[in-house]
Structure 1
Amino acid sequence: MNWRLVVVLGVFVPAVASAYDYPTQDRVEFVLECMHDHRGKHEYLYKCSCAIDFIAREMPYDEYVESSSAARYQQMGGERMGIFRDPDFVKDMIKKYRDVQGRAFKACNF
C-alpha cells in the first residue's frame, strides 16, 4: 500500500493512495509518446495530458500497464510476439484499452 500525507484542516494525516494514481514517469511517457504520434505539435501537450488523466480515472494502474503494453507489442512481428496477438484474454484486454483510449481522445478534442 502506498501512503502519503494530506492536510486536513491544517493537520497532516496519512491517506492511502488511490488504485488509479499513476506514477508521474508513466504519465510523462504517455504524453511524450502521444505528442510524438501527433508530430510534436505543442497543442497536443494539453490534449495528451488530458487523455492520460481520463485514462487514469477509468482504469487502475496495473490494468493500464498490462493492456497498454499488450497493445504496443501486438503490432510487432515474429513468432514470440504471438503471445500479444493470439490469446483471447489479451485481445479482450487490448480492446478495452483501445475503447478507453478512444473515449479519452474524444473527450480531449483530438
Structure 2
Amino acid sequence: MLLTLDLNDPRPLHEQVTGAIRRAVASGLVVPGQRLPPARELAAAIGVNANTVLRALRQLRDEGVLEFRRGRGVSVLASPDGGEVVRRMARELLEEAERYGHGPADVIEIIKELESS
C-alpha cells in the first residue's frame, strides 16, 4: 500500500494519513475485505510515528471505513460514501487554493477552464 504525505502541508500528520488511506479506499486501491499492513509497517513506509498511523486508523474505524479484529489486524469494512469523498476532497482543494491566495471563485473558474479544454 503506497501512501505519500506532503511535508509542506500544514495539516497535522494524522489528518494527512487519514486522508491518504481514505483516498486509497475510495479509489479502489484497497477494497472492502482487504487487510491493511500493520501500523508499524505503514508508519515506517511513510516516515511517521506508529502512534500517528494508529490515530488515523482509529478515526477511520470510527467513520465505519475500517474494522479492527483482534488477531486479524485492520481490514477495510466499506468504501466511503462517494458524495462525502468528493465533498472532503473539495474542502481540501479549497484549503490548498487558499494557501496559494486563491478563493472559491478562482477555483470554480479554474474548474470551468479545465472542463472546457
Shorter-chain TM-score bucket reads under 0.3
Q: Which structure has more strand as a fraction of its residues? A: 1
Mark the structure with the bigger radius of gyration.
1
TM-score, normalised relative to structure 1:
0.23
Q: TM-score, normalised by structure 2?
A: 0.22
